[in-house]
Amino acid sequence: MKKLISMILVLCMAAALVPAFAEDDITGVWYLNHAVTQGISMRVISDEIQMTMTFREDGTAALFSALPGQEPQNAEATWTYADGVVTVTEKTEEAPVTEVKYENGELSVEAGGATMFLTRETYTPYEMPAAVKAESVEAFYGTWYPEVSFQYGMMALLGDALPVEQRAKLNISAEGMTETASDGTVTAYKNAAVDPETGVLSATFDVQGYEATIQLTLLEDGSMLVIGTVFDMELMRSIYYRLAD
């Protein structure tokens, strides 16, 4: 009997030294799905940005990230799991430790003032509504507010987080074309004209003494794609919605 009890104790101690699999099995590959910062949700829509965590059954892990303009980063680590928290320790001289929360089938980790969420499924690409060919500048008349913004393979849902008064306001009328930022700064656009072949409205504006271009394209769902460029480099890409008068 004593021998049987000893064997049970040995097995229990061994089980305590390895990651728990039965109740919350987190082994496998986890992909960055979305992030939240300052109340704004940003969803991954392309592989321009990548972040994965792979947890192996032997207690080791592989960490990977690829950000625009940076070399991809790979790191090996070890991990343990207890009470809804995965403790990840990188195998480096500094041996940084990261706490990753597990809840409702998602992993979440705090970094750089944002909370990043990882899921077992990879991203879903965003499908842009089809373009509508505008015949004249009048087709763009009205007051427009940004709803979503695209950057680095992510889509920020501005409309879900910021009230209208905290967003930029783009006004297009017979008097001209101006955009008022949330802080009251006004940008005046010049040389507004619609391309007769594409129906895209283009205008120019000043960016720190340099001439930049903004292109507006009407979309089938009633929204408008806005792209700003300077020196052929894209400054911003957003979708604006026109509120009913």
For residue 94, which phi and psi values (nearest 5 degrees)? -75, -25
Residues in the chain: 245
Per-residue confidence band for 24, with pLDDT thresholds at 50, 70 and 90: confident
Please give the pLDDT value at position 111: 87
**21 compared with 134, residue with greater pLDDT:** 134
Mean pLDDT within 145-173: 92
- List, for residues 97-127, the tens digit of each pLDDT value: 999 999 999 999 998 899 999 999 999 999 9
Domains, in order of start, for the chain: 25-119 (2.40.128.280), 131-242 (2.40.128)
Please give the pLDDT value at position 176: 95
- List, for residues 50-68, the tens digit of each pLDDT value: 999 999 999 999 999 998 8
Q: Could you tell me if 198 and 186 are in contact, meaning their C-beta atoms sit under 8 angstroms apart?
A: no
123-128: long-range contacts, CB 8 A cutoff, minimum separation 24 = 123/31, 123/32, 123/33, 123/43, 123/44, 123/45, 123/46, 123/47, 124/45, 125/45, 125/46, 126/43, 126/45, 126/46, 126/150, 126/155, 128/219, 128/225
pTM, entire model: 0.79
- Would you call 224 exposed, middle or buried from its count of C-beta atoms within 10 A (0-12, 13-18, 19+)? buried
**244 compared with 149, residue with greater pLDDT:** 149
Cα Rg of the chain, angstroms = 25
Looking at the chain, the whole-number percentage of residues with pLDDT higher than 90 is 73
CB atoms within 10 A of CB 48: 15
